[in-house]
Amino acid sequence: MSERITVELGERSYPIVIGRGLVGGEFDLTQHLAGGDCLVVTNQTVAPLYLESLRRNLEGASIQSVSLEDGEAFKTLSAVETILDTLVESRANRDTSVVALGGGVVGDIAGFAAACYMRGVAFIQVPTTLLAQVDSSVGGKTGVNHPKGKNLIGAFHQPRIVLIDTDTLETLPDRELKAGLAEVIKYGAIADIEFFDWLEENIESLLSKEPGALAHAIKRSCELKAQVVAEDERESGRRAILNFGHTFGHAIEYCLGYGEWLHGEAVAAGMLMAGELSGIAEQQLARLRDLTERAGLPTRPPALGAAKLLDAMSLDKKALNKKLRFVLLRDLGDAYVTSDYSETGLQTICDAGS
């Protein structure tokens, strides 16, 4: 049994299929390949767990695989080159498909390689972390980090299908599950107060990986992301609200060194910082803080000092005309993008590291 959401992007529309046992064969992925061959990109943590299972699913196709080193530190142009080399070596043609099996890092790298190989070949996402399932696998953003900044090199390249097998979360470490919940909470905070209510009631079920609760949280998150992406594929406007907490979060990740805090952890602290900068009622801010805390996530930045954080933010790509832009909240459940904020407030918030 599986559920299906469509990301509406005209001729680039694609389905997100959510369910149990999908990688192992409950869903036939072969029919979604562009041609008879594919390259599965995964990493050294995920490969021993799910690569064989995916290979069986794809039986009949000619399958190559590349296993990258695990971690944000390896999200580099050099990893993309490894994939491109494999595609060239196997003489892959325009009708090949690149399949990403893993978390957000694998999806971002593999997607960018698919975007660049022969100026774009088919791409399929099989996300195996909660973060990738609710966020990075949907919407077509691909890319890698530059030594001086996150996601500075990349492309928009939509997948043909996103296959979300919730069973893969069984092997996901708790810390990563929690990091994924940061993005789930984000959707409630920026666009759906009812979903936020539901999360307040069900956060313990999610933490204990209750399948029904996970499936609902993933589905609702994907629906909300799909709506926003359909309105503004290339982030010329509204799509930027998905970056709630991210300008702060990226700066935290950059200053600490990628991998010290997980992306979701940095975003969690960033959401609280953005919430505070929004000047919403203290009662609403408290709800956001409580839920984040119950999810086992940080609610304050590390003690880095304002100067370092602000400098890192000015390189963040969401900055426009050198003037910082933030996603702020009108109310809990209602976000907007602005460059109209209190400079002294920002300073105070960045200095409040613990």
Residues that bind a copy of itself (CB under 8 A): 35-36, 77, 81, 84-85, 88-89, 91, 93-95, 115-120, 141, 143, 146, 148-149, 152-156, 234, 314-315, 317, 319-322
**CB of residue 85 to a copy of itself, shortest distance in Å:** 8
How far apart CA 259 and CA 136 sit, in angstroms, is 17
Encoded tokens for 305: 């000092």
**CB of residue 303 to a copy of itself, shortest distance in Å:** 26
* 150 assigned to active site: no
Helix axes 263-278, 343-351, angle to 10 degrees: 140
Nearer to a copy of itself, 24 or 149 (CB): 149
Catalytic residue among 72, 233, 235, 276: 235
Catalytic residue among 32, 75, 141, 160: 141
Catalytic residue among 246, 253, 265, 325: 246
How far apart CA 315 and CA 156 sit, in angstroms, is 20
Contact partners, residue 187, CB within 8 Å, separation at least 6? 134, 195, 220, 221, 224, 225
Catalytic residue among 150, 263, 287, 325: 263
Nearer to a copy of itself, 31 or 321 (CB): 321
* 246 assigned to active site: yes
**CB of residue 15 to a copy of itself, shortest distance in Å:** 22
Nearer to a copy of itself, 12 or 20 (CB): 12
* 157 assigned to active site: no
Taking the CA of residue 202 as centre, how many other CA atoms within 13 Å lie in the half-sphere pointing to its CB? 21
**CB of residue 93 to a copy of itself, shortest distance in Å:** 6
Contact between 27 and 116 under an 8 Å Cβ cutoff? The reply is no
Nearer to a copy of itself, 95 or 282 (CB): 95
Catalytic residue among 250, 253, 265, 276: 250
* 225 assigned to active site: yes
Backbone phi and psi for residue 220, each to the nearest 5 degrees, phi listed first: -65, -40
* 223 assigned to active site: no
Residue 224: helix, strand or coil by DSSP?
helix
Smallest Cα–Cα separation from 160: which of 329, 7, 319?
Answer: 7
* 183 assigned to active site: yes
Nearer to a copy of itself, 102 or 140 (CB): 140
**CB of residue 148 to a copy of itself, shortest distance in Å:** 5
Encoded tokens for 334: 């209602």
Nearer to a copy of itself, 283 or 323 (CB): 323
Catalytic residue among 43, 57, 151, 243: 243
Nearer to a copy of itself, 85 or 204 (CB): 85
Residue 236: helix, strand or coil by DSSP?
coil
Catalytic residue among 32, 239, 287, 325: 239
Burial environment of residue 91 by CB neighbours within 10 A (0 to 12, 13 to 18, 19 or more): exposed
Residue 65: helix, strand or coil by DSSP?
strand
Angle at 213 between CA 211 and CA 218, to 5 degrees: 95
* 308 assigned to active site: no
**CB of residue 317 to a copy of itself, shortest distance in Å:** 5
* 263 assigned to active site: yes
Contact between 199 and 188 under an 8 Å Cβ cutoff? The reply is yes
Smallest Cα–Cα separation from 131: which of 179, 164, 174?
Answer: 179
**CB of residue 122 to a copy of itself, shortest distance in Å:** 13
Contact between 354 and 300 under an 8 Å Cβ cutoff? The reply is yes
Encoded tokens for 66: 């590349």
Contact partners, residue 323, CB within 8 Å, separation at least 6? 339
> Active-site residues: which are they?
119, 141, 183, 225, 235, 239, 243, 246, 250, 263
